[in-house]
């Protein structure tokens, strides 16, 4: 494991020791505490070969979450696959803001658009069990992962609907709150060439030439699916705050405001329907 950690140190913005432990714990199907309790246990040759194969895949840029098949978000263990975007810590801001709006015992109707692995819907449903949450995604494969996560976590208040953004909500009662972490990367953004992003689904990352096509569509459609006084919360890129505020104003939203993440970047913009 020490050798693996030294090799993983070549990756940017990682904790090589932690990643080496997580990969080995995954391979052995044991908790990390087992590795600490038995640090000197040699691996059989077959497991040693499999472990180094995982390390090689990680060094080639494959996300750790895809290699282990799971990612923690909001203290919940979620299954993830290459059909879903890997949940990011920045998205927990969207959950925090939603929970500030939802009274603890409220029975609101909430929609999570483009749910992917179901991270946002799962976190909100876990914290506000009286609410009804609809999780939409146009990808059947992603929705299957989300559905599995909701079932494993015992979140029976979440309903999965397949379709593009708000289309599955047609004919449904209006929502009190709509949340989304949509694609917001421009098609020509050079960051798409980074090894990790090349492994993630492009449709969950890219939104047209300026990265705002999905946000425009959601903002245009959302008023018809929100009750009076309902709110829309959107995650976006750190340089897109002004553009998203403008889009929400044009769509008829008021009380528009942008919230910053822990790094001080504009990350989530909210608006209210009169």
The reply, when asked if residue 189 is annotated as ligand binding, is no
Binding site annotation covers 241?
A: no
The reply, when asked if residue 63 is annotated as ligand binding, is: no
3-state SS string for 123-184: HHHHHCCCCEEEEEECCHHHHHHHHHHHHHCCCCCEEEEECCCCHHHCCCCCEEEEEECCCC
3-state helix, strand and coil shares in percent for the chain, rounded to the nearest 5: 45, 20, 35
Please check if 183 is assigned to a binding site: yes
How many whole angstroms separate alpha carbon 214 and alpha carbon 209?
A: 11
As a whole number of angstroms, the distance between CA 243 and CA 228 comes to 24
DSSP track, 242-254 = HHHHHHHHHTT-E
Residues 6+ away with beta carbon under 8 Å from 43? 51
Q: Is 274 annotated as a binding residue?
A: no
Confirm or deny that 180 is annotated as ligand binding. Answer: no
> Any known ligand binding at 237?
no
Confirm whether residue 116 is marked as ligand binding.
yes
- Tell me the longest C-alpha to C-alpha distance in the chain: 66
| Residue 173 is labelled as binding a ligand | no
117 is in an annotated binding site: yes
For residue 195, say whether it is annotated as part of any ligand binding site.
no
Binding site, annotated residues: 114-118, 137, 165, 181-184
Binding site, annotated residues for substrate: 181-184
Binding site, annotated residues for S-adenosyl-L-methionine: 114-118, 137, 165, 181
């Amino acid at each position: 494991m020490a050798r693996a950690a030294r090799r993983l140190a070549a990756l940017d913005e990682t904790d090589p020791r932690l990643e080496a432990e997580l990969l080995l714990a995954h391979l052995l199907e044991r908790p990390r505490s087992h590795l600490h309790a038995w640090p000197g246990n040699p691996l059989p040759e077959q497991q040693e070969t499999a472990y180094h194969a995982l390390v090689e895949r990680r060094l080639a840029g494959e996300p750790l979450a895809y290699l282990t098949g799971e990612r923690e978000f909001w203290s919940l263990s979620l299954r993830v696959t290459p059909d879903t975007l890997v949940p990011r810590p920045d998205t927990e801001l969207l959950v925090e803001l939603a929970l500030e709006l939802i009274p603890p015992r409220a029975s609101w109707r909430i929609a999570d658009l483009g749910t992917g692995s179901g991270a946002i819907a799962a976190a909100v449903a876990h914290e506000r069990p009286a609410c009804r949450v609809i999780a939409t995604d146009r990808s059947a494969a992603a929705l299957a992962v989300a559905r599995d996560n909701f079932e494993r976590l015992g979140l029976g208040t979440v309903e999965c609907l397949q379709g593009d953004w708000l289309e599955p909500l047609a004919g449904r009662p209006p929502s009190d709150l709509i949340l989304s972490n949509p694609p917001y990367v421009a098609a020509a953004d050079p960051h798409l060439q980074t090894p990790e992003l090349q492994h993630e689904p492009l449709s969950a990352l890219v939104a047209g030439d300026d990265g705002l096509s999905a946000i425009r569509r959601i903002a245009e459609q959302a008023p018809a699916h929100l009750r009076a006084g309902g709110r829309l919360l959107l995650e976006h890129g750190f340089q897109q705050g002004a553009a998203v505020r403008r889009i929400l104003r044009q769509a008829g939203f008021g009380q528009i405001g942008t919230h910053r993440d822990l790094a001080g970047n504009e990350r989530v913009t909210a608006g209210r329907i009169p």
